[in-house]
A and B are shown apart, each in its own frame.
Chain A
Amino acid sequence: MEKNLYGPKSGEGTWLWLAKIISGALVAVILFIHLVVNHLVAPNGLLSYAEIVKYYQNPIIPVMEILFVTLAVPHALIGLRGIILDLKPTRAILNGINWLFSVVGVIAIIYGVWLILTIASRGA
């Protein structure tokens, strides 16, 4: 119980939490723009392949969406990890989760960025 005085490294400290809230705040802002722009401003609400490709020709859009996926995925995974921490997993399980989430997160971001750039290039 008092092992956290001298014991193993903490599973969550200030920096991870700050990463969660900063990414959360930025996600909130970008999500708002994402919703408004994608579904209220964009013609027909981006409901066909052709529209989306055309829409992604404006360079601001891919930049915004890349930012979005790079922030949303870590926020979700850090948050999910926090929920798991509330169940006090063993060190071994926590290390497994850290590894798994890191891998899933990196893959998701790479995939998202790839998808965005692919769609943007389709209109060239």
Chain B
Amino acid sequence: MTQARWKVTFQVSRKKEETSSHFDHFVVEVDPDEYVLDAVERIWAFQDRTLDFRHACHHSTCGACGMRVNGVEKLTCITPIREVTHEGGVVRIEPMRNFPVISDLAVDMGVMYIRMDNVGQHPVNLDSLEAVQPEARPAGPDLHGEEFPRLSDCIECGLCISACPITASSPEYLGPAVLAGAHQHGIKNDEQVLRMVDCEDGIWRCHSAFECTAVCPSFVEPGWRIMDLRKQVIGIRIKQLFGGTTARKIDPQEASK
């Protein structure tokens, strides 16, 4: 932490049930190496106790603190203030898009959680099953050839859904997070999930904007996963045309290949 102190104005979007949304301004003295979430917490603690927002782990594991900072989706616990403004600057803080706003910066993510459940997204996965884009990042430590369980990359923060232009116009679109979850779960041995993704609300609604991948604070790369799902679905459907079987129960460890 530096010794510097900046005076930064935070334009925070406010909306309670009775009121329409508007911006409140808060001037906060911050250390530029602190994070945007720190500033929001300090606004709540010392200036306005009616400010509603979500926060939990404070280290990009829980996915609770997603917001839009100066119009861009960010996980605020890992967004240094230095990155988004300067001394005397103004930072605009708004809730994520494409989720109903419950209050101020807190949005209702229930639909996303339900859908993640429906596609079988696993919060904990065997390392080998957490498919990664080839050459995207090096494989984990080699524990003498053993597989080890680890937390799934996706922290269900919803930033990708906020950034997706199609979710903006079609709330029925499953969205990048859910499709990425389906990809992680695997469609080759689950007919239900296959049908969920191979439809107008699934992978065919994506138009390759790749805004989701751009804002993902973890290593999910939903854009790649949706494209990979397309490749898999096309392969499956063509095989079915030529008499291949549909869903088959196979060893889950094979499914991820």
Contacts and interface: CB of A to CB of B under 8 A. Distances in A.
A60 interface: no
Given A2-B118, A5-B192, A17-B204, A87 B199 contact: no
A4 B195 contact: yes
Interface string A4-23: 11000011111111100000
A63 B99 CA distance: 51
Contact of B200 (A5, A11, A18): A11
B76 to A, nearest CB: 29
A76 to B, nearest CB: 16
B124 interface: no
Contacts of B204: 12-14, 16-17, 82
B196 A4 contact: yes
Contacts, number: 56
Interface in B158-212: 166, 169-173, 192, 195-196, 198-202, 204-205, 207
Nearest to A16: B204
A5 B118 CA distance: 10
B150 interface: no
A10 B195 CA distance: 9
B233 interface: yes
B233 A14 contact: yes
Contacts of B45: none
Contact of A13 (B171, B172, B198, B207): B198
A88 B171 contact: yes
Interface of A: 1-2, 4-5, 10-18, 82, 85-88
7 contacts: A5-B195, A10-B198, A11-B200, A13-B198, A15-B237, A16-B204, A85-B170
